A and B are shown apart, each in its own frame.
Chain A
């Protein structure tokens, strides 16, 4: 009997959905808008993350060593720092590389190059370029260079300067912008999702309100609550499925357009992003569409099923 009932509920829900014409189209439209908002927010988050990562990538700290510091000593410090939990990447630039880079950078500046030639030896020291896992961690990385046991006194005395202190204001400001943008992004997404959920719920409630007479008739004929509720829930599922397919199709031209027009601005090609995350995005849309459909129907019909 269970499977007979299940079959009847599904068939009945499907018929309600296909025979309700305008009402079904209206709920698909509203649900599509909701899914469109959710997907747009995922796109915006992706673009925001990629821009923030670009900015983060540009933040680093460089430790310059006194010229003639033994290379092995610098490499020793590199090994020690590499094991710190905050450090993501650390690269060594030797004295010779530093000189080559300096010359390269000033290749048009004849005077500077001539002045450099006047010197007998390389005035530049080696350096270590450090990238933290998160911009907020530079402060604590720099603290390792204070005399607190991580590095020996001799190692510390070989350091010429650390450019963190010059860059501190910029790094701090970027860190707070990044964190602020994240929080704002989440808050805006949350509010928009809640609003669109409420709109979808109200629409489904209105549709069920229009069916309240039918629900009454079903009760009078002696149908059990679950048997009355079932077809409405199934219709909700169909609305979710159709809306997610519509949304995923709408986003094909939208993402192509965004990919062509906005890649430079947002720093990520949204069409490529859409293609490579297609399955995941479709699952998210299908999942949200179907669950919104089911939950809204159950809540909306509840009040008509009390006695």
Chain B
């Protein structure tokens, strides 16, 4: 599904990623681990085409992501749901509207929005808080809302960049369980983290990055840093 071919990413004079070769298949749950600055976030930014590689290519199916036109890039991003450490919710919209926005953006009609949004809110246990604004929610609630927004459009791939970075162990547990549930339903999940608890709880493929290089790629991995 996603293929990194000899990808290198340099920022002015520091190397963030070097000679990365990874392939991720449909339905996989991949944890990408590494210390801060190991290149985890850069890796996700390359998949989302927020950044372009200095060298090499990133493929989604058979298309080079970084050669897509603006219009096609928008279509491509609609196939991916993203969850961030800092949530990145729309501050001026309520929980309900944040999720509805993702559907409006991909031009779903009102009927589908009215049907699907309450369903997803229930899935992440936020039905009672649907009309609150992000600043009125706790960290865990915000992250569950962000996940709800990411999955509402039924994407092929979910990218979760340090989704538990700002959460306590209980909320972390909850978020990881939701991601596993989503993966069980057939969606590919890429999760970056430096949290041992998360990796050991997931018990799936683990790719370990160190100084921008892949140092381990274990099918049934454990946290090894």
Contacts and interface: CB of A to CB of B under 8 A. Distances in A.
Interface of A: 1, 4-5, 8, 12, 15-16, 19-20, 213-214, 216-225, 227, 307
A222 B92 contact: no
Contacts of A218: 90, 101, 105
A222 B77 contact: yes
Nearest to B100: A8
Contacts of B91: 214
Nearest to B155: A222
Interface residues of B, number: 27
Contacts of A16: 92
Interface of B: 48-50, 70, 73-75, 77-78, 82, 88-93, 97, 101-102, 104-107, 109-110, 149, 153
Contacts of A19: 92
Contacts, number: 60
Contacts of B102: 221-222
Contacts of A307: 49, 70, 73
B92 A20 contact: yes
A213 B87 CA distance: 11
A213 B110 CA distance: 26
B106 A222 contact: yes
Given A16-B92, A214-B91, A220 B48 contact: yes
A212 to B, nearest CB: 12
The 9 A-B residue pairs with the shortest CB-CB distance in the complex, in nearest-first order: A222-B78, A223-B105, A222-B77, A217-B88, A19-B92, A221-B102, A221-B105, A220-B82, A8-B104
Contacts of B93: 15
B108 to A, nearest CB: 10
A213 B88 contact: yes
